[in-house]
Amino acid sequence: MKAKKTISNIFTTVIILLSLVLLTIGLLPKVTSYDGYYVTSDSMYPAIRKGDLVFTKEVAFEDVEVGDVLTFTREGSEKWFSHRVVRIKESEKAFRTKGDNNNVEDPGYTPYDAVVGRVEKKMPLIGFLPMMLATTWGKVVLVLVYVLYIAVEVENAASKKRKKG
């Protein structure tokens, strides 16, 4: 009986933590002025690591300084990048960027209108969860965890009922 209780407690803890992380990731951008992005490479290592969740905030062109980390997209790409500003081209409202862990600067200049915002905060490793959930296997595992939790709780309730009856 102790084993069932222990399994139930473990599943309950996992479900609560998983739900809290998912709620935080999902709700934080809605209740604050931050947008969240998970990092898929070590191009900004050691400042930002693969699996970190970064939070960006809109920033005016005039407020961007060399050394800031911006999150942006490239024309024709659906990927997001978070790299450090190494040069500013005021006349074109554009930035030259580079990943801290990259040997060379990013190609060309990034126009200001491709910038989502400046990275203001990060949560280490939390980005692995949405990264995993972006895959089919990740969604399957998430559903299985919740189904197993429900199965364990139903079995515990049935077991208690049998003991009373």
Q: What is the pLDDT of residues 87-102, one digit of tens each?
A: 999 999 999 999 999 9
Question: Do 23 and 41 reside in the same domain of the chain?
Answer: no
Give domain status of residue 155, yes or no: yes
pLDDT above 90: residue 2 = no
Question: Do 58 and 89 reside in the same domain of the chain?
Answer: yes
Give domain status of residue 73, yes or no: yes
Domain extent at residue 99: 33-125
Comparison of pLDDT for 49 and 3, the residue scoring more: 49
Catalytic residue (one of 35, 106, 113, 159) = 106
Question: Do 70 and 22 reside in the same domain of the chain?
Answer: no
Q: Is 77 a catalytic residue?
A: no
Asked if residue 69 lies in contact with residue 84, where contact means CB atoms within 8 angstroms, the answer is yes
Give domain status of residue 130, yes or no: no
Give domain status of residue 61, yes or no: yes
pTM above 0.95, yes or no: no
In this prediction, residue 70 carries a pLDDT of: 98
In this prediction, residue 86 carries a pLDDT of: 98
Question: Do 100 and 77 reside in the same domain of the chain?
Answer: yes
Give domain status of residue 75, yes or no: yes
Q: Is the peptide bond preceding residue 29 cis, with omega within 30 degrees of 0? A: no
Q: How far apart are the first and last CA of the chain?
A: 17
Q: Is 106 a catalytic residue?
A: yes
Question: Do 26 and 43 reside in the same domain of the chain?
Answer: no
Catalytic residue (one of 8, 42, 83, 100) = 83
Total domains in the chain come to: 2
Residues 6+ apart with CB under 8 A from 132: 138, 141
Q: Which two structure tokens, joined as six digits, stand for 97?
A: 């960027």
Question: Do 86 and 120 reside in the same domain of the chain?
Answer: yes
Comparison of pLDDT for 29 and 138, the residue scoring more: 138
Which tens digit of pLDDT belongs to each residue from 123-137? 898 888 888 888 899
Question: Do 41 and 99 reside in the same domain of the chain?
Answer: yes
Q: Which of 4-8, 53-57, 128-132 has the lowest mean pLDDT?
A: 4-8
In this prediction, residue 1 carries a pLDDT of: 61
Question: Do 106 and 152 reside in the same domain of the chain?
Answer: no
Question: Do 75 and 142 reside in the same domain of the chain?
Answer: no
Q: Where are the alpha helices (DSSP H) in the chain?
A: 2-31, 128-133, 136-164
Q: Is 42 a catalytic residue?
A: no
In this prediction, residue 165 carries a pLDDT of: 63
Catalytic residue (one of 19, 43, 91, 113) = 43
Question: Do 10 and 54 reside in the same domain of the chain?
Answer: no
